[in-house]
Amino acid sequence: MRAFAALYDALDTTTSTSAKVAALAAHLRDAPAADAAWAVHLLAGGRLSRVAAPSELRDWLYRHAPWPEWLVEETAAAVGDTAETIALLMSAQPSAPDGGDDEDAADASLGLAAWIEQRLLPLRDCTRETREATVTHWWRSLDAERCFLVNKLMTGGLRVGVSRALVARAVAEVSGLDRAVVQHRMMGRWTPGAAAWHALVAPGDADADRSRPYPFFLASPLAAEESPADRLGDRRDWLAEWKWDGIRAQLVRRDGRTWLWTRGEELVTDRYPEVADAAATLPDGTVLDGELLAWDADGVMAFASLQRRIGRRRVSARLLAEVPVRLLAYDLLERHGTDLRNEPLAVRRRALETLLDAAPDALGVSPLLAAPDWPALAVARDDARARRVEGLMLKRVGSPYRVGRVRGDWWKWKLAPLTLDVVMLYAQPGRGRRANLYTDYTFGVRDGTALVPIAKAYSGLSNDEITRLDRWIRAHTTERFGPVRAVDAVQVFELAFEGIARSSRHKSGLALRFPRVVRRREDLGPDDADTLADARALLAGADEG
């Protein structure tokens, strides 16, 4: 665990990508196989089944910290992270009388895999009393760095500014494999351990896991106001299709079985039985890339309808009837067991259309737009929101199916976002390095003489703007509710968002999709902000589509 703690510190204290890759590669070369596998799993976004909830850790801290409760609360508010608060407070106390025994010495020598497999995972099946006694003993016996990591692991996972692609780069450097092979092997479900590490770095490109999807190819954004003619050249070199507003997914059909994977590598086959049943008509050795969409007799439904299906382990017959789901495919990655990703898109597209020509309704092909030139395509794009889509996808006819976000071949040309001018009502601190700054904001719109909350946002402002706003929030607080501050309702901001829907969970009756701050409107006062009626007008426009 000491070696992994040192790696975590090295990753957390640099913003250099090359330095992070070097630190990861050095750790993976020296680590035992099982430790290396767990490091890859955790740093690439994998999580443990939760051993203890953050609320439990806070309760135990209040009972066992040798500090008054007010000091614990103030420290937690300043630090903003429960795991770090515990590590700072508990490691600061003098050596505990029960410290220094043989078990503590054994814990100190354990590697990452042993800590997880022999200490943390077995604790899930213990009583709350046993878990509390064990965990608080660890707090007293571990140094701050390892105490912090153990707390993070108990509550689910780690965040340290390392992407999955960056981890794959380090593994590729250590193993000598092509990065695309490593990224493919890291997809899907795998159990960390020595065997998993050896399989990950084994020579060759064979893959024994038949359920595994391919790494997704991601499009780069064109600015909403940008003309593709200025960047992309001849329209005839590009296929154009709608940018669907659904869930990106790969359907894998091999060995008479079907697996449906989301881009987040969640296996959701059982949640969309109509798609899984339709996939049984496909030949073995088929992998489709496409979009899961709520789709009825009139075509694509609003994303809010699809949200009713997201996250449900069991789908009732009524919900299946009310929100039928379809996979609209736009690429064929594997045919009869042959990897087609290096074939030109035009070849893959023709094969896809042939494959799904007589497929069941739950499987379809994303249609192409026939607009002959860029101006005609821009006119078609203007109709996107009325069709409940986000804009256009532009894909080079000769492009292979790449890994990750590689600029040049696939572009997303989205509509300009919807906007509202809104008033800041509340603010609360961020997390991690922003725990001492007010970075999370609640905004409202006018409804008569009142202001009604409509959205929360925490992105869009620069660091300098956040710092200045933080000072203003502290000076203009009217009430405090724990970490949340109500502020003078005078600051107006332009808020951008991708969609709007009805919501019974919000006071405004509306929910905004992906809200983010565009700018502070210092030229406007609160009486100039948009109204609830203005927001409902945007909703009406969406409903008409």
Q: How many Cα atoms within 13 Å fall on the side-chain side of residue 76?
A: 21
Radius of gyration of the chain (CA): 26
- From 243, 414, 456, 507, the catalytic residue: 243
Largest alpha-carbon pair distance within the chain?
A: 80
**Token reading at 21:** 């890759």
Q: Which residues pair with 512 in a beta bridge?
A: 500
Helices and strands in the chain: count of H runs, count of E runs: 22, 22
Q: b/e map of 60-91 (b: 16 or more CB within 10 Å)?
A: bbeebbeeeeeebeebbeebbbbbbbbbbbbb
Q: How far apart are CA 356 and CA 362, in angstroms?
A: 11
Quote the CA–CA distance of 264 and 44 in Å, as a whole number. 12
Distance between start and end Cα atoms, the chain? 55
Residues 6 or more apart in contact with residue 531 via CB below 8 angstroms: 445, 446, 447
Tokens standing for residue 427: 């603010």
Residue 290: strand, helix, or coil = strand
DSSP for residue 476: T
Write down the residue that tokens 């969640």 correspond to.
266
Distances (CA, A) of 374 to 286, 381, 393, 540: 34, 10, 13, 30
Query: Which residues are registered as beta bridge partners of 238?
Result: 396
The token pair that represents 265 in the structure block: 């590598």
Residue type, 477: T
Tokens 């490593």 belong to residue: 182
Cβ contacts of residue 268 below 8 Å, gap of 6+? 249, 260, 261, 262
Q: Per the structure block, which two tokens stand in for 334?
A: 């594997």
What are the tokens at 87? 């590590």
- Residue 93's nearest CA partner among 120, 72, 119 is 72
User: Are the beta carbons of 428 and 440 closer than 8 angstroms?
Assistant: yes
Q: Residue type at 353?
A: E
- Confirm if 337 and 285 have CB atoms less than 8 A apart: yes
Whether 243 is a known active-site residue: answer yes
* Active site residues per annotation: 243
